A and B are shown apart, each in its own frame.
Chain A
């Protein structure tokens, strides 16, 4: 054996030992990747806040959803069920809700969960001093809006604990969607003593007191957040003993996929889209392909139309723009995104929706409509501008629209992109209202009720603070405002269906697709189906097949 080969052999040996040592330290899983314990490792981004009263983003809410719970919940069929409330009554006028809490509810520090904890939470969240982003979710409750604007004291909010297990809520006016609101995180109970003791830091590990199926074991900011099964939980206890959230930066889709393939993660989450570079690999590699799953989301992507612009005032023009598109091609070849072509604005699961009323794709008819509107083959039609926030996906969309509308309708499209926050602000300035034509928009349900779409988005009173399209229709406004308070579910749906017909006829914005979640999941992880609203991870139901 020569000196050279001996040297090489030694180097190899050192490498092998090093490799073995490193592996021993970094991998908890055994052969085949399956873990030895009931534990999952999953990616997330840094949650801005674990305070249910303050959280507004999907990352925070996913973790809060494991740690806390509220009065009621909804399944994907839209059926309500009691969580901490075992029963509730609604008064005949639809303005008083009375909830009875279960017996034996406990906070993670052993204190009982009482109706007073709900009363405290709601009054605290509506207090303008708390500065909660989602305070307006509480507006249907008596005095909420006045309190929030500083014209009344938080103690006057229409909620009171009649006794430790009875919560009475007084609404400003009937709101048929109140139970939906009551299922959201902003209306969860809060541990007053912890908040008063630790102030803003009450959500740190060690300080936080929770009432859900998991507890917060540790939280190293921007690194790792560990949840542990709450063995004192009143209901069905989770199978998983631990869940380790590995925290990645925003936009780190590539790193997440790499960590998943290296066996450092057991599943992805809805926080991370599969990066376009990985899509092809996941579609061709049979093993990866079998691990990639699609799930429904309550989420529509569309193009916002500026109704103030003369050329876009005519509904035939808007319809022509929408009917000229080939959405299945757009999704599959251009955007490479999971989703379903959308003909209507409201996604599946929203009562009142009637996609069949909306025009379907038809280039010939699109051309005809444009001609009827006075622009045969696009002659005389002004150049339009499409604005989007700087991002590869939206850039691809913009280029597709430019090419497609030029080819089919003879319409020229100018593309304009902006940095994210600049884009968000621009939507409310003259750059959009006076000079903008189209921009990329989308909405995901906060709660799966028609109110969260028909009222919150398209009512002309809400429009200026939402997508700001400038569409006004008095008949529509009257219908959805009546529907909001209608207590009879069938009558309510009928009202929303009438409103839907107006949206479809006016084709107020151009629907593109219903987005779906696409998440890689290792074969040994069971029962992963993210919630349709917000894509929360169902940790309480999940399990792993251990060795």
Chain B
């Protein structure tokens, strides 16, 4: 297990390097730069800005300088847009917000999704099952940019129960978390249902029933635990998605998260921020995948890593 983990962690290094190189090349190829503004910046000013941020150096040197800064000093550079902040400040301010939003949405989504999935499987082909699956299909098909504003219109503007925007107080979190939780909830419901239907037909479940175990124990301890293995794979991917991909929800509800900032940074050609956030997102996705793999071993004793 330790050897496996070590290998997986070491594998992160070439992944980071590949992500870094690819992102760097794409930024070089993208037309327009950070100093292209609507009111043109005079040549001398451009030159001064390039000198200040090292953009006057040859491209290969910009490539190595940044890399050396990250590796030796954990320095991800300054933000070109927000001149009093560094990339580390930006990530430190905004990543916790995206992480909180993502984790809350995932918690809500998983709870609701797994519960719905289990209930539909147990009440297979009844109206409960059909209703739950209508929700599941709706949740996957209706995008956040429809659900978000709809929730705002009904619950914030219409009923006045919660504020329309902002972040920090619990009442401001309800709508965005619900909006973001919808897709994971729907997907988890479908996967849990499918897995449960398969598992409940297994011999060991029949055996458990035959032994006279309480229905509750059969469902939770025998069926659900095994059904969760495929569901965990989906959950891992979904977790990475909701943490790194909550841009639209952050935009609609005016939440100061990293997803929103990332999109602004693309528009502004804020290279260091783009690089820092890309590396962070890449790390988040690879680490979540690693955790999922480790978690398999716990759920399924048949899976062991050498």
Contact = CB atoms under 8 A, between A and B. Distances in A.
Q: Do A and B share a complex?
A: yes
Contact of B254 (A221, A252, A419): A252
A90 interface: no
11 contacts: A18-B161, A26-B172, A132-B45, A133-B35, A134-B45, A136-B44, A223-B166, A250-B267, A258-B157, A421-B267, A425-B31
Contacts, number: 156
A246 B36 contact: no
B43 A201 contact: no
- The range of chain B's interface size is 35 or more
A422 B38 CA distance: 11
A264 B165 contact: yes
A424 B78 CA distance: 23
Nearest to B261: A222
B44 A255 contact: no
B84 interface: yes
Contacts of B165: 246, 248, 255, 258-259, 264
A428 B254 CA distance: 35
A72 interface: no
A255 B254 contact: yes
A193 interface: no
Nearest to A203: B84
A376 B149 CA distance: 52
B77 interface: no
Interface in B69-106: 78, 81-85, 93-94
A22 B32 contact: no
B84 A136 contact: no
Interface string B34-68: 01111111111101110110000000000000000
Given A133-B45, A221-B256, A261-B157, A46 B164 contact: no
A252 to B, nearest CB: 6
Q: Which 9 A-B pairs have the closest CB atoms?
A: A421-B32, A222-B256, A424-B36, A131-B52, A22-B171, A131-B48, A128-B48, A425-B32, A49-B83
A223 B45 contact: no
B160 A255 contact: no
Contacts of A56: 37, 39
A382 interface: no
A249 interface: yes
A440 B156 CA distance: 39
A149 B160 CA distance: 58
B208 interface: no
A527 B299 CA distance: 66
A262 B81 contact: no
A232 B178 CA distance: 47
Interface string A213-255: 0000000111100000000000000000000001111101011
Contacts of B48: 128-132, 135, 148
Given A48-B83, A249-B251, A252-B251, A258 B152 contact: yes
Interface in A419-438: 419-426, 428
A50 B163 contact: no
B256 A223 contact: yes
A487 to B, nearest CB: 26
Contacts of A76: none
Interface string A367-391: 0000000000000000000000000
Contacts of A250: 264, 267
Given A223-B166, A248-B254, A254-B149, A131 B84 contact: no
Contacts of A133: 35, 37, 41, 45, 49
A421 B269 contact: yes
B10 interface: no
A255 B35 CA distance: 29
A51 interface: yes
A262 B166 contact: no
B301 interface: no
Given A56-B39, A249-B264, 15 more contacts: A22-B163, A22-B171, A23-B161, A26-B169, A48-B82, A49-B83, A51-B83, A247-B256, A249-B260, A254-B149, A259-B163, A262-B160, A423-B32, A424-B38, A465-B42
Interface in A188-206: 200-204
A231 to B, nearest CB: 26
A46 B267 CA distance: 14
Contacts of A425: 31-33, 36
A420 B268 CA distance: 9
A258 B164 contact: yes
Contact of B161 (A22, A252, A261): A22
B43 A465 contact: yes
A466 to B, nearest CB: 6
B159 interface: yes
A19 interface: yes
B296 interface: no
A255 B36 contact: no
Contacts of B251: 249, 252, 255
A222 B94 contact: yes
A333 B58 CA distance: 51
B171 A26 contact: yes
Interface in B241-274: 251-254, 256, 260-261, 264, 267-269
A249 B266 CA distance: 13
Contacts of B14: none
Nearest to A221: B93
A222 B163 CA distance: 17
